[in-house]
Amino acid sequence: MKKILLSAATIATMTTAATANTSSELATLKAQMAQMMKKIEKLEAQKAGKGVVEVAPIAKKGTLVKSKVPVLKFSGTHYLGFVSDKVGATDGSRINKFETRRNYLQVKGYFADNPKDYMRVTLDTHQDSTGDWKVRVKYAYLYLDNVLPYTGVEIGQAHRPWIDYEEHHGWFYRSISKTFIEGTPDLINSSDLGLNFKTKTDYFSSELGVFNGSGYHGIKDGDGLSGEWRLTGHILGTGKKHVHKHDTYADVSFFGQYGTNGIKNSDADGDYRWYGVHAVYNQEAFLLAAQYLKADKAKDSKKGDGWSVNGEFRPTEDISIFAKYDDFTLDNNTEKKRTIAGIGYKYNKNVEFIANYDKKEVDDKTTRDAIMLSAEVNW
């Protein structure tokens, strides 16, 4: 319809323009053309119907995004910061640098048949050893709700069972530090290609997954798969909720991996078996969390056991004072420690500013002694 109208308008304009002898007549024609274009755009918007998502209007003119799903949800998360580290400087000074640690851009497309079913894609920036910035696919999975009673499934490059849970229940400061298992012993990362069945009830939730084992930035060598799990008891009945800092909850979890890491051409390739227990209690004023982790089958630089504890005190709604301590001892008696302490200020619902101290040690030798300033941005 739009093409027909445009063609007709063009022919009419050319015919009339051929007989126009004055500038006033040309000005009138331009005004008529502008009016006609507005009518065409209005007609197009009315005919678009289902499958068109209206985005925030620009000035007086709406912007339309066409999609085969009725709802599109865009979001982003950014970890921006400054670090001053005295380890590594040859002249006794500090190494000072600005950082953008993470830049996630995410889109979810929700389906019409079931509004809880969706496809998610999350992109993440990464700076390689040469300083070049690259983009990784962090998540790319199909989520289908209720494929089993109280259970949905992620298919594709999906969440692994443990890390996402801890980031949303026990450790809220991913912008300055990874969780214990991904940081100090460095056993796994947060996503991988596979299946993850997610069950939620009031007093029990779980994630049971089968994955390649190599993680989202490792190349699978085809040798074996990895079975991973999280089983959580929600003592106060909050298992179905997406909890926040102001909620009261108490959880106990058992989590682990049995299988292979399977990273091609890497000394990390091989059978992995580790497991842990975690407990957390949170209310509006404070949080307390602790965990124990044991890896009895892994590469030598990761095999061992250890523990981590972290706490948070919130004197006001916008201020949080927090601390975290990790201790992991390898089977060869190498001991890794990490101490974090800091304060966070919630500037608004989209931005939180954080100042903290971060110290890492290996066999009591300091490998990091840093002061960090950060901004976590969510939109």
What distance in Å separates the CA atoms of residue 239 and residue 241, rounded to the nearest whole number? 6
Per-residue model confidence (pLDDT) at position 24: 61
Average pLDDT over residues 143-165: 98
Task: Say whether pLDDT at 351 is over 80.
Answer: yes
What distance in Å separates the CA atoms of residue 163 and residue 174, rounded to the nearest whole number? 10
Per-residue model confidence (pLDDT) at position 219: 79
Per-residue model confidence (pLDDT) at position 11: 44
Task: Say whether pLDDT at 124 is over 70.
Answer: yes
Strand 71-85 to strand 335-346: parallel, antiparallel, or no bridges (unpaired)?
unpaired
3-state secondary structure of 168: helix
Round the average pLDDT of the chain to a whole number and report it.
Answer: 87
What distance in Å separates the CA atoms of residue 266 and residue 272, rounded to the nearest whole number? 14
Average pLDDT over residues 2-6: 47
**pTM for the predicted model, two decimal places:** 0.82
